[in-house]
Amino acid sequence: MGKQVKNERLVLAERPARGPVTDKTFRREEETVPPLRDGEVLVKVEYSAIVSGMRSVWFGLGLGLGARGSAIARGLEVGG
């Protein structure tokens, strides 16, 4: 990685209550990606989805941790 790469992620900010998930349920965080080590791969997520069926998983997820979902990504670089 020649230049500094930033990673943006969604984290669970508050537990969802009954009804629709609001913009307060998740928050965006940005962090600098460390240099790749041997065997690591840098990808860029092009599309992601967090479906309502994941609500049951959210209740076991600690606040401030990344939300789980599906993604389609493009490989950018391999470490090593």
- 31-46: burial string, b at 16+ Cβ within 10 Å, e else: eeeeebeeeeebeeee
| Domain count along the chain | 1
From the number of C-beta atoms within 10 Å of its C-beta (0-12, 13-18, 19+), residue 12 rates as buried
What pLDDT is attached to residue 18? 76
Which residues span the domain enclosing 62?
Answer: 6-78
What is residue 46's predicted lDDT score, i.e. its pLDDT?
94
Tell me, rounded to whole angstroms, the distance of Cα 40 from its chain centroid.
17
Q: How many CA atoms lie within 13 A of 49 on its CB side?
A: 5
Determine, yes or no, domain membership for 1. Answer: no
Tell whether 39 is covered by a domain: yes
Predicted confidence at residue 67, as pLDDT, reads: 63
- The predicted pLDDT at position 39 comes to 93
* Digit-coded pLDDT (tens) for 17-64: 777 778 888 889 999 999 999 999 999 999 988 776 666 666 666 777
